[in-house]
Amino acid sequence: MPLRIPVVEKILSANDRLAVENQARFDTARVLALNIMASPGAGKTSLVEQTLKGFSGRLRIGMINGDIATSFDADRAQAAGATAIQINTGGDCHLDAAMVQSAISQLDLGALDLVIIENVGNLVCPADFKLGTHKSVLVASIPEGDDKPYKYPGMYRGVDVVVINKIDLLPYVPFRMDFFKKGIEVLNPGVVQFEISCRTGVGLSSWLAWLDRQVQEFKHN
């Protein structure tokens, strides 16, 4: 006779455990860690470039870039002044805590103020895999359309910040900002929001000021 054994375990518990270890390493070094997620083309790398530029000479930033292939993004981050580690997932649609763990080992956390992890471009899978970061940032963009919070609730629900990029395209693209924001707010009441354009620079100062405050508070508290 088969015997039924209760298990009641989260299927991604192994990843969750590694994520806790990663966070402990960031905590010990007092380095704030961000997980930046978005669909491909929303502007993750552009936001990273603008952020590196904005903090140039002021904050020491380490980058971990996840991509299925190529090191274009790490190259762009390096060119903008960060120490960058590229993770090629070789087909995996997301970064997981184990990949981040090996990348952290290649960074000198003691010499950094902020670590930015740029996840694989994807609005589905990255939400399920915790990395051990302190804040999750979702970059949305106007041309993607205003229905994305409704279509990808898992992603919009689990983040701390939504950065709405490419707002310079609002006059040219049908995008109901009210409808979009209603979708975010129901799923994620009180989520921090920024409306920016990485191309024109509008809104970036608010984002940088917020991030600077997070880094300083984390370092000194």
Query: Measured from the CB of residue 17, what is the shortest distance to another protein in angstroms?
Result: 11
Strand ranges (E), 82-212? 83-88, 114-118, 135-141, 161-165, 192-195
Token pair for 53: 């530029």
Coil vs helix vs strand at 33: strand
Q: Which amino acid is at 208?
A: L
Rule CB under 8 A: say whether 124 interacts with another protein.
yes
d(CA 132, CA 18): 8
Binding residue for another protein, selected from 153, 170, 192, 199, defined by CB under 8 A: 153
Q: Are 92 and 120 in contact (CB under 8 A)?
A: yes
CB-wise, 12 or 169, nearer to another protein? 12
CA count, 13 A, side-chain hemisphere, 155: 24
Token pair for 71: 């090191």
CB-wise, 4 or 220, nearer to another protein? 4
CB-wise, 30 or 182, nearer to another protein? 182
**10 Å Cβ neighbour count for 53?**
13
Site for another protein in 82-101 (CB under 8 A): 92-94, 96
Binding residue for another protein, selected from 21, 27, 75, 128, defined by CB under 8 A: 128
CB-wise, 161 or 215, nearer to another protein? 161
Rule CB under 8 A: say whether 125 interacts with another protein.
yes
Rule CB under 8 A: say whether 187 interacts with another protein.
yes
- Binding segment (CB under 8 A) for another protein, from list 36-44, 70-78, 109-117, 153-161: 153-161
Coil vs helix vs strand at 27: helix
Query: Measured from the CB of residue 182, what is the shortest distance to another protein in angstroms?
Result: 6
Rule CB under 8 A: say whether 69 interacts with another protein.
no
d(CA 208, CA 198): 12
Query: Measured from the CB of residue 167, what is the shortest distance to another protein in angstroms?
Result: 22
Cross-strand bridge partners of residue 64: 85, 117
Q: How many residues interact with another protein (rule CB under 8 A)?
A: 34
Binding residue for another protein, selected from 34, 127, 131, 167, defined by CB under 8 A: 127
Rule CB under 8 A: say whether 189 interacts with another protein.
yes
